[in-house]
Amino acid sequence: MTNTVYINNDQHKIPVTPSLRGLIRRAVNAALKYEDFSCPCEVSVTFTDNEKIRTLNREYRKIDRETDVLSFPLFDENFGDGEKPALGDIVLSLEKAEAQAREYGHSFEREAAFLTVHSMLHLLGYDHETGEEDEKEMFFKQDEIMKILGL
């Protein structure tokens, strides 16, 4: 059994190519492999724009500004035999990723993969906002996964 990565495009500003879809799937699977998450699972990734992610950020985090990625963990340990647990949903602003890639001086693909890895770690229970040690651990793992991806 393998992991299932659902990809939904809810924006029209950045082209979503088969290559981008493949990269996002590789980023999800690299994070799961790095974390030794051996149970086949499902992850949903939605591409959106700044306006829509700002609305979600305001609604769910009470922060009224655009952000690059949001993570919505869903993992339920009480799934039945033969079922794939749904780890959660990732909402990624491709518009914000493109702007950040220019700002940081690297490729759009690297930024999109990084944001996906970052969000996957959130789905797996990591949180960089809970303390300095947690932040160091999460950022170290992000860097290691990005090296595995060759990015």
| β-bridge pairing 69-73 and 42-48 | unpaired
Residue 57: partners with Cβ closer than 8 Å, 6 or more residues away:
63, 64, 65, 66, 67, 70
* pLDDT score of 133: 87
3-state DSSP assignment of residue 31: helix
For 87-126, what is the HEC assignment? EEEEEEEHHHHHHHHHHHCCCHHHHHHHHHHHHHHHHCCC
Predicted confidence at residue 85, as pLDDT, reads 84
The pLDDT tens digits for 49-102 are 999 999 999 999 999 999 999 999 986 665 556 677 899 999 999 999 999 999
Rounded to whole angstroms, how far apart are CA atoms 118 and 33?
14
Domain range for 54: 4-148
User: Which pLDDT score, from 0 to 100, does residue 135 have?
Assistant: 86
User: Considering its fold, how many domains does the chain have in total?
Assistant: 1
- Beta carbons within 8 Å of 39's beta carbon, 6+ residues apart: 84, 85
This prediction's pTM = 0.92
CATH number at 138 reads 3.40.390.30
